[in-house]
Structure 1
Amino acid sequence: MKMKTLLLGAAACFAMAPAAMAERGEDGNVNIIYWQAPSIMNPFLSGGTKDIEAASLVIEPLGRYDPTGALVPFLAEEIPTVENGGVSEDLTSITWKIKAGLKWSDGTDFTAEDVKFTGDYCMNPEGGCAQLAKFTGVEVIEVIDPLTVKVTFGAPTPNPYGPFMGGQSPILQKAQFENCTGAAASTCTDQNFAPIGTGPFVVKDFRPNDVISLEANPNYRDPAKPAFATVNFKGGGDANAAGRAVMETGEFDYAWNLQLAPDVLAQMAKGGKGVAVAAFGTLVERIEMNMTDPSPELPEGERATVAHPHPILSDFNVRKALSMAIDRELLVEIGYGQAGRATCNLVPAPDLYASESNTDCLVQDIDGAKALLEGAGWTDTDGDGIRDKDGMKLSLLYQSSTNAVRQDFQALIKDWWSQIGVETELRNVDSSVFFGGDAGSPDTFQKFYADVEMYANNFDGTDPQSYLSMYRCGNEPKPSSQWQGENINRFCNEEYDALLDELAKTGELGKRGEIAKRLNDIITKETMTIVPLVDRGRVSAHSNSLGGVALNTWDSELWNVADWYRID
């Protein structure tokens, strides 16, 4: 049957070079720096990459994606497929076999009960799970025996690898979190800051937005790993300081996400203490348009909710004009050099899913943007250089996280928008706060108390189904979900949702590619709800003395930290 096509090569293996290690912890300490500081160690309560990746040191999924994008087992014996009997012939279920003898870091047994609990935890409608799209279509999760768990979908699901695959969907310990479900999820500080895990390290001290101290898990499944006894995970600062700390001063061993201009990186590399590593995946720097009204004049419970459409950005012509005014090639040149490519796509890779027809935005058109606004009734009635319509000024608040490249982008885009008659106020927020999951903060990217905001993220693995499903109607952050949710701009489109349903039941790869491209084009070209800017290569750096690093753009960068070791 055609729907099996997606599953045939799913169990490909990735072989790591063996590290010369004799016993656990013999290489002492490793220093990691993420200039976006983690604020929580529970990825189900944060959509921030820095939180997901920090958590991956401790809690793990059943399977991961390797640097080639192939699926590899972690806590599972193998990746279930139709061929090995793990995926049902009718594609309505996937059955995972768990490795025997796995222990949580507290010494208790890891079982299928923990897997089922994690799925139910995320799917609880009152919990505000940030990774809910991973569980799209799941009808029930059943424990077959202590080492077997079955996920059943409501319809044939050719891509059943959403739940429990990749760093965004790890397993929580039932015993630790069973009193932290639903509305109580965000109140369990001890659990969310220091989850018990199966990963190579254990949290000893967690200081939100600052430092995490970890030590080797005494019950890790490989007695020779990890090579490092302790981890000092420093958060905060900026990308420049993080890069220098590895490549110039040698103070740290690994620096993540060096979002720096190419000449800055080249100068750092001359320090001789470390090297930059880079790889392209699906990381897209983009502008999100807020489809709801973020005005502080609205009551707190209604601000930036679907009850109040945006008074300016609800006009498609405004959204399109804002995109037309941007020179993406110049943004690439000043921000990323060879580590960036101008794009109009939310999904830039793999080629199967990347729209070839969505290229109109690649050429800046200031005059066309002016004409579009003029034709839509946005004119400068009082001669102050700012367009208006029906008494409302074309004035926008544009926010992003604090980062030199992003602030350069903001300044350029503000200038281009001023040329078409748009007034822009710029705001930048500390990245640890902006990408945090604090429901009480007014400054998170999920709450979106601005008109437009800029950031980048990507998805686990090579299939974009879960990623595109984030923008389903009803999946928006809102008070009832503790301001968690993946539909950041509150987009809602019936055709889009219908195509998501079709994608979920389509197995033939060519057809899946066609649907995914159509979904991409709806949200980026036909509605301009998301305005992609740059397809970013992931750039990080590691010290010359750190071995075992395998940069992975398809999963957590720390996916194989158990294999890291010290080079003499």
Structure 2
Amino acid sequence: MNEQEIRGLVADVKEGTLSRRSFIKRMAAVGIAAPLASQILAWNDVAMANATLDYKPTKAGGGGPLKMLLWQAPTLLNPHFASGTKDQIASRIFYEPLAGWDKEGNLIPQLAAEVPSKANGGLSADGKVVTWKLKQGVKWHDGKPLTADDVVFTWEYAADPATAAYTTGAYKDIKVEKVDDHTIKVIFKEPTPFWADPFVGVAGMIIPKHHFGEYKGAKSREAPANLKPVGTGPYKFAEFKPGDILTGTRNENYHIKNQPHFDTLEVKGGGDAVSAARAVLQTGEYDYAWNLQVEDEVLKRMETGGRGKISAVPSGDIEFIILNTTDPWTEVDGERSSVKTKHPTLSDPAVRQAINLLIDRDSIQKFIYGRGGTATASFVNEPKQFKSPKLKYEFNIDKANKILDDAGWKKGADGIREKDGKKLKYVFQTSINAPRQKTQAIIKQACQRAGVDLELKSVTASVFFSSDVANPDTYTKLYVDIEMYTTTQPQPDPERFLNQFVSWEIANKENKWLGRNVSRYSDPAADEAYKAAQKELDPAKRAALLIKVNEIFCEANVILPILSRTRVAASTTNLSHDHSGWDVDSWNIAAWYRS
């Protein structure tokens, strides 16, 4: 076997089409011993880690200000309460996980000294124990050292039901032990094929015990650090006006040599995606703008000015609709859309099936999103081995009308269908954003032709995606009949992404509406398949189980996927940034620089 053939097999392992075990067996067949084969993969991992961004500055600082636009303004800075991507991005500036995901889907050490592997003793043979070694010499922004105690505390904090953390799903079923001041063990109850969830990426940011220790559990919302973070990240907290502006200054004791490049950081919130794109691509007033959910033709015109460029990277993100099978208009025990209720009309599978046929996905892609998305019927689309091969979409008004006719929903004098005194009239909610309002209009027009009446509701993005337990208009409350938004796949494996479809993650008053299952729908078969996937070590069998979870919700027409989204951002032409589709935009902000 020559070098080129070996490189091809390494690429197959990276893409997930060949397991590491199969790679090692193939190497053994040509006389390459298992330890050396494992080392070849390890060398490849190191090469990818070094290749994530070609960082050129030779000293820290000197870059002046870095100005970012998050047009959905951050409202909090505790990563374990951050249900909205905007708050996760803002939190990641100050807090770091043990490892993050680059744009190629590689796991990159951040607070960890290395990524655990069988070769370095970090992964046990039985798939139940992961050993993480921390970088030494890392300090919190107040000068205190980062130790294993902080990692163990982060687990205790997020796993405590009284904390009501958004990240609790990553921590509640594990045990974490301190080995020494710079080593911890994560112990799983069962063999766990996807172990890179606790302490990794969006869910993995480590918080300091000495600032949050008194605020674990029921007092979690009272912690001053929820709005004034003390982290290990490249920038220190300076000022935060929720819903408006966030500023930071360079961390002079940052644990990576010559980073960060910029002296100050400003994150401006508010406005809309179009104005954010204009402020980078046309005026150059800002260096970077996130989540440009803007018609592609508009972006192309702006790019001609030459001040900025568009970055579009593949991701597992999905723009989709939820059809609420609970009753959003009846309050039970202090909450609407309670699982104790049943929606008067959307609980009918025929109605849900008809509405799914009334979504013109191809037109939404062609005339609105362009580079920003691809029409799909599957909730999971990336990586490809996890996408359902049988889920298909169709736009067919005639077929939708027949389904409703056959189900006994007759058109009244006003043209709206009804049965047993109940009308097919719905409030359809999303965030304020031009592509989403245009998508709403396209769907409303088709629904009218089938006797379904939609009242369109648009909520300011900073409210819609906030974690404010007192606000009825947040997306996790689902206090409407129909809702549309994008949810982000936080890593190149859909296991955690699909916990939005399990019964124990249902958003409700008890967990302060931070449960990941916003739809409230559940199915025992989905729960069973998900639990089986969590301990299935055979890659093909595990993928089949996760595909089944996806199919159950999509075939029930509770979840109506619209577009597989690419992550679109804008930057000035002289900004080198590390934009990943598998992590938040700020995941490696320490390495950004101006050329």
Q: TM-score range by the shorter chain?
A: over 0.9
Q: Partner amino acid for 1:317?
A: A
Match of residue 504 from structure 1: 534
Distance 2:316 2:236 in 1: 30
Aligned mate of 1:173, from 184, 201, 208: 208
Tell me which residue corresponds to 1:521: 551
CA shift digits 1:245-291 (9 cap, x unpaired): 00100100000111111110011112221111111211110001222
State the TM-score, normalized to the length of structure 2: 0.91
Output one character per residue of 1:437-458: Cα deviation in whole Å (capped at 9) or x when no partner.
0101111001111111100022
Query: Structure 1 residue 565 and structure 2 residue 593: aligned?
Result: yes
1:247–1:275 CA contact under 8 A, matched in 2: yes
Distance of aligned partners of 1:4 and 1:161 in 2 relative to their CA distance in 1, 3 Å threshold: farther
The residue that corresponds to 2:377 in the other structure is: 344
Q: Secondary structure at the match of 1:442?
A: coil
Which residue in 1 is equivalent to 2:92? 56
Residue identity matched to 1:44: H
For the residue of structure 2 that corresponds to 1:415, the secondary structure is helix
Q: Once superposed, what is the RMSD of the aligned Cα atoms?
A: 1.8
Contact 1:6 1:158 in 2 (8 A): no
The C-alpha deviation readout for 1:88-128, integer Å capped at 9, x for no partner, is 11111111111111111111010111111111111111222
Q: Does residue 31 of the first structure (1) align with residue 67 of the second (2)?
A: yes
CA contact (8 A) 2:315 2:489 kept: no
Alpha carbons of structure 1 residues 135 and 26: separation in structure 2 relative to 1, 3 Å: same
Deviation at 1:129, TM superposition (A): 1.4
Deviation at 1:5, TM superposition (A): 7.3
Alpha-carbon distance between aligned partners in 2 of 1:130 and 1:5, rounded to the nearest angstrom: 37
1:538 aligns with 2:567: yes
For residues 185 and 292 of structure 1, what CA distance do their matches in structure 2 show? 30
Secondary structure at the aligned position of 1:541 is classed as: strand
Q: Percent identity?
A: 37
Aligned residue runs from structure 1 range 421-500, under 5 A: 421-500=451-530
Q: Deviations over 1:23-79 (max 9, x none)?
A: 322111011001111111112112111111111111010011111001111111111
Q: How many Å apart are 1:316 and its aligned residue?
A: 1.3
| Alpha carbons of structure 1 residues 227 and 560: separation in structure 2 relative to 1, 3 Å | same
Deviation at 1:560, TM superposition (A): 1.7
Per the alignment, residue 411 of structure 1 pairs with 441
Deviation of 1:6 after TM superposition, in Å, equals: 11
Q: Could you tell me which amino acid in structure 2 is paired with residue 280 of structure 1?
A: P
**Structure-to-structure mapping, 1:39-188, within 5 angstroms:** 39-135=75-171, 137-138=173-174, 140-188=175-223
Partner Cα separation in structure 1 for residue 314 and residue 514 of structure 2: 28
* Deviation of the 1:16 alpha carbon: 4.0
CA displacement at 1:223 relative to structure 2: 4.3
Match of 2:255 among 212, 221, 234: 221
Alpha-carbon deviations, 1:469-525, whole Å to 9, x = none?
232113112111122111001121100000011101111211122112111111112
Q: CA separation in 2, counterparts of 1:528 and 1:187?
A: 40
1:400 aligns with 2:434: no
Q: CA deviation at 1:529?
A: 1.4
Deviation at 1:18, TM superposition (A): 4.1
Task: Determine the C-alpha separation between the residues in 2 that align with 1:439 and 1:341.
Answer: 34
Q: Matches of 1:438 and 1:47 in 2, distance apart?
A: 10
Instruction: Give the corresponding residue for 2:28.
Output: none
Partner of 2:395 in structure 1?
364
Superposition pairs of residues 232-247 of structure 1, within 5 angstroms? 232-247=266-281
* SS, match of residue 505 in structure 2: coil
The residue that corresponds to 2:404 in the other structure is 373
Aligned partners of 2:500 and 2:562: how far apart in 1? 19
Task: Letter of the 1:100 partner, please give it.
Answer: Q
Contact 1:200–1:216 (Cα < 8 Å) also in 2: yes
Cα distance in 1, alignment partners of residues 481 and 302 from structure 2: 36
Moved more, 15-24 or 212-221: 15-24
Residue number in structure 2 paired with 1:193: 227
How far 1:4 moved relative to its partner?
A: 6.6
Work out which of the residue numbers 298, 311, 315 in structure 2 matches 1:264.
298
Aligned residue for 2:219, secondary structure, equals: helix
* Aligned: 1:329 with 2:358: no
283, 292, 311: which one aligns with 2:326: 292
Between the aligned partners of 2:361 and 2:339, the Cα distance in structure 1 is 31
Residue 15 of structure 2 is matched in structure 1 by none
Residue 102 of structure 1 aligns with an amino acid whose one-letter code is V
Structure 1 300/252 Cα, relative in aligned 2: closer, same or farther at 3 Å? Answer: farther
Please tell me the residue identity of whatever aligns with 1:364.
F
- Higher RCO, Cα 8 Å, sep 6+: 1
Letter in 2 for 1:545: N
Conserved 8 A contact 2:578-2:589 = no
Amino acid at match of 1:510: A
Gaps of 5+ in 1: none
Check whether the contact 1:276–1:539 (CA below 8 A) recurs between aligned residues.
Answer: yes
Counterpart of 1:562, as a letter, is A
Counterpart among 284, 290, 293 of residue 250 in structure 1: 284
2:12 matched residue in structure 1: none
Per-residue deviation, 1:300:
6.4
Return the match for 1:420 from 447, 450, 459: 450
Structure 1 residues 26, 493: CA separation in 2 closer, same or farther (over 3 Å shift)?
Answer: same
| Conserved 8 A contact 2:289-2:569 | yes
Q: Take 1:352 and 1:299, find their aligned partners in 2: how far apart are those partners?
A: 42
Determine if contact 2:93/2:589 at 8 Å carries over to the other structure. yes
Name the amino acid aligned to 1:535: S
Q: Check the 8 A contact 2:142/2:230 in 1, yes or no.
A: yes
Q: Distance in 2 between matches of 1:448 and 1:154?
A: 33
Question: 1: distance between equivalents of 2:286 and 2:462?
Answer: 19
The count of aligned residue pairs is 558
Equivalent position amino acid for 1:71 in 2: L
Task: Please tell me whether the aligned partners of residues 533 and 546 of structure 2 are also in contact (alpha carbons under 8 angstroms).
Answer: yes
Question: 1:388: how far off?
Answer: 0.9
Runs of 5+ in structure 2 lacking a partner? 1-18, 25-37
CA distance in 1, matches of 2:594, 2:108: 25
**Aligned partners of 2:20, 2:313: CA distance in 1, in Å?**
31
- Contact residue 467 and residue 514 of structure 2 kept, 8 A: yes
Cα distance in 2, alignment partners of residues 392 and 183 from structure 1: 42
Cα 1:5–1:220 change in 2 (3 A) is farther
Residue 317 of structure 2 aligns to a residue whose secondary structure is strand
d(CA) in 1 for partners of 2:73, 2:290: 11
Matched, 1:553 2:581: yes
